[in-house]
Structure 1
Amino acid sequence: MRPAEELRFLILAAQREGNRQLGQALRPLGVTASQAEVLRVLQDRQPLTLNGLGDLLVCESGSSPSRLVDRLAAAGLVDRVVAVHDRRQVQLTLTAMGADLAQRIAEIEESLYRSIDAAAEGLDLTQLTGFLRTFVADLPAGQALARRKDAAT
């Protein structure tokens, strides 16, 4: 197996295992990993328009997250509020129930990140993250992640 092929499958295996662990931890909360990402992005950056939210999502990069938002709104987790300055714009915010759930999701994510930190202990991840950032830089998911990273700093 050539190195590029092994790298491809290692990334795929890590992504699948991470999603499996996250999905298993989220199951008792009744949300998918994609729905959890929407709630967490709103928790960090609300209010957002639907387009603004879509620009920051990795799970739905390059497409509209309207179906995800519809389900979350129907569950009473997200409110749609018509913007005062432009009635054509609908701003998305978390309801109290959505904010509570987003906080519980953040705790689950933190546990996952601690597991990753433990597995990487003693390793310098700078080269790996730099490579991966460059590898996805021109792709929709990579651009969404870059926008989230830029907005967080």
Structure 2
Amino acid sequence: MTSPAALHSTDSDRMLAPSELRYLVLAAQREGNRALMRLLAPLELTPSQAEILLVLHSFGPLSLRSLGEMIVCEAGSPSRIVDMLVTRQLVHRRTSAADRRAVQLELTEAGASLIPSLKDIEAGLEAHAASVLTDQEQALVGAALRKYLQGTDSEGVFERRFGADQPR
């Protein structure tokens, strides 16, 4: 593991090549997604489906619009992914008691039964990150990426999902 002193004395002193930051972010996302897909394969879920199940578990029931405002996996409406989860009987659509024209999405018993496995997968990925980066390094990377996302649609998604007023 790289020590924080080593990171500060060598890596941070070197200027990035043109486009290197963009490709570093892309490569990290790609590697993380590949690892997640391997871990989700036994559950027959995609990363997008898993994210929707976890968001519905933490914040549901939600309207399709509200769900779309809280997920990173899909820009815009996640209706196609939700349709697949409904077909697989992992998510249920029900008429809202407050507004009969509105539909609320919630986990079915089968969907809820996957949550412990999904949380174990997330914990394993977080443990891997902790084995590579110190808490301070994770905080620095997170702060830099949040700064990079300022003014974008993704900034709002992260604030709604991970903001200071959200449960940890």
Aligned residue number for residue 98 of structure 2:
85
Counterpart residue number, 1:7: 21
Corresponding residue number in structure 2 for 1:96: 109
* Root mean square deviation, CA, Å: 1.7
What displacement does 1:126 show?
2.8
Gaps of 5+ in 1: none
Which residue in 2 is equivalent to 1:39? Answer: 53
Cα displacement string for residues 50-89 of structure 1 (whole angstroms, at most 9, x for unaligned residues): 001000010113x111111110001010011101110111
Residue aligned with 1:56, SS: coil
Aligned to 1:149: 162
Tell me, yes or no, if the aligned pair for 1:59 and 1:141 is still in contact at 8 Å: no
- 1:129 and 2:142 matched: yes
TM-score of the aligned structures, taking structure 2 as reference length: 0.84
Secondary structure in structure 1 of the residue aligned to 2:104? strand
Indicate the structure with greater helix content.
Answer: 1
- Mind listing any 5+ residue stretches in structure 2 that lack a counterpart? 1-13
The partner residue of 2:79 within 66, 73, 87 is 66
Q: Is the 8 A contact 1:43 1:94 kept in 2?
A: yes
What is the distance in 1 between the residues matched to 2:45 and 2:26? 23
Q: Which deviates more from structure 2 when the two are superposed, residues 124-133 or residues 97-106?
A: 124-133
Q: Percent identity at matched positions?
A: 40
CA contact (8 A) 1:55 1:144 kept: yes
Deviation per CA, 1:2-53, whole angstroms, max 9, x where unpaired? 6152221111111000000000100110010000000000010111010010
Q: TM-score, normalised by structure 1?
A: 0.92
- Number of residues paired by the alignment? 152
Partners of 2:54 and 2:134 lie apart in 1 by 26
After superposition, what is the alpha-carbon deviation per residue over 1:96-132, rounded to whole angstroms, capped at 9, x for unaligned?
1101112211111110110011100375333321111
- SS of residue paired to 1:152: coil
Q: Distance in 2 between matches of 1:35 and 1:94?
A: 12
Query: Which structure has the bigger radius of gyration?
Result: 2
